[in-house]
Amino acid sequence: MSKKQIRLADLAEKLGISTATVSRALKDYPDISAETKRRVNELAKELNYRPNTLAAGLRKSETRIIGVIIPEIANHFFAKVIKGIMEVAYREGYNVMLCQSDEDYEKEVVDARALLSSRVDGLIVSIGNHTHDFSHFSEFLHAGIPLVFFDKTTPEIEDCSQVIIDDYAGAFQAVDHLIGQGCRRIAHIGGSFEAFTFQNRLNGYKDALKKNGIAFDPQLVFPSEKLTIQVAREHAEHMARIQPPIDGLFAATDLMAIGAMNGLKSQGLKIPQDVKIIGFSNWEMAEAVDPPLSSVNQPGYEMGKITTEILIREIKAEKEEREIVYEKIVLQTELISRESTRK
């Protein structure tokens, strides 16, 4: 069993024709005779010829690889986004090179450089919470490689498209809903406020309070660096002791909402009778917990698809040297009301 892979040259030699002709025959160029095409394709199939896309890529300066940098893969929202990305990429004939920045700025930089060195045709990024310098991303734009941000983005880079959700409106909706259900003392578990998404959710929370004439109380806000069930549970145990007692909770992720729900229940509080809870993301588990969790739907899968569609459109435009029109897509959230906020 040979350890070498078949090359165009091997096919050419066996058929007694040039590599140029073999190359064209495989691509079904119109000016190659039907008979030649038949012979070439037959042999290619017989020998399991797999074209070396690196070589082709080097020659054509296109790799048909899309680079993706996300902070954390084992997160249901990002997993859904990646699923959307991969489906569109597959459909359009692109491969996906995936990097996880781990919310680590240095790693994000290293990943970005590796993808640049891999000469990806385009890049999709959700920026890490602690990233405040973006030159590792602007390098792509200088090199003419399209870049689309989703979810976590920055106003500092202008020459690129972005796909986000309306975090502010979603949070506003959520808190307005709680108030509509009778809550007056509403706590908020947020993520790192360094990140725009969590900053926006906090602002939506504040403005919904204000609109309803409820004073903002900073001691009801719990920022969390790590968004784990455990952290949320600890917050909740603290929350249960606040006086006057809280009667509502808006958590910036469903996972935190569920952790807090457990924590509050373990302190003897009843959901929704004593405290009504709403999360953010509406992932699969929200309806499976007890009581089912109200949430704000965040369409991750659609986000991944749209982001990739825009990116591929820009890759094509760049190749054909057409002007790229940058888009800013704001996906709407949707309030999903379940037991956990019932009156």
Which residues are at the interface with its own copies (CB under 8 A)? 1-5, 48, 50-55, 57-58, 63, 65, 73-76, 79-80, 82-83, 86-87, 90, 95-100, 107, 111, 113-119, 139, 142-144, 229, 255, 258-259, 262, 265, 284-285, 287-290, 301
Q: Which of 27, 83, 132, 211 binds DNA (CB under 7 A)?
A: 27
Select from its own copies, DNA, none the partner in contact with residue 107, using the beta carbon and a kind-dependent cut-off of 5 to 8 Å. Answer: its own copies
CA distances for 193 relative to 196, 200, 209, 222, 339, angstroms: 7, 9, 19, 10, 29
Distance CA 46, CA 150 (A): 44
Pick between residue 49 and residue 193 the one whose CB is nearest to DNA: 49
Sequence letter at residue 122: G
Q: d(Cα 210, Cα 223) in Å, to the nearest integer?
A: 20
Are 49 and 56 in contact, with CB atoms under 8 Å apart? Answer: no
Q: Is there binding between residue 18 and DNA (CB under 7 A)?
A: yes
How far CA 52 is from CA of 12, 164, 197, 264, in Å, comes to 15, 37, 42, 58
The residue among 299, 284, 295, 294 whose CA lies nearest residue 331 is 299
- Residue 7 contacts which entry, its own copies, DNA, none (Cβ below 5-8 A, type-dependent): DNA
Tell which residue, 175, 226, 179, 181, has the closest CA to residue 202. Answer: 175
Nearer to its own copies, 202 or 275 (CB): 275
Q: Which of 14, 19, 109, 114 lies at the binding interface for DNA (CB under 7 A)?
A: 19
Which amino acid type is present at position 137? Answer: F
Which listed range, 30-38, 82-90, 143-151, 228-236, lies at the site for DNA (CB under 7 A)? 30-38
User: Among 55, 73, 288, 330, which residue interacts with DNA (rule: CB under 7 A)?
Assistant: 55
56 binds DNA (CB under 7 A): yes
- Binding residues for DNA (CB under 7 A): 4-9, 16-21, 23-27, 29-36, 51-52, 55-56, 58-61
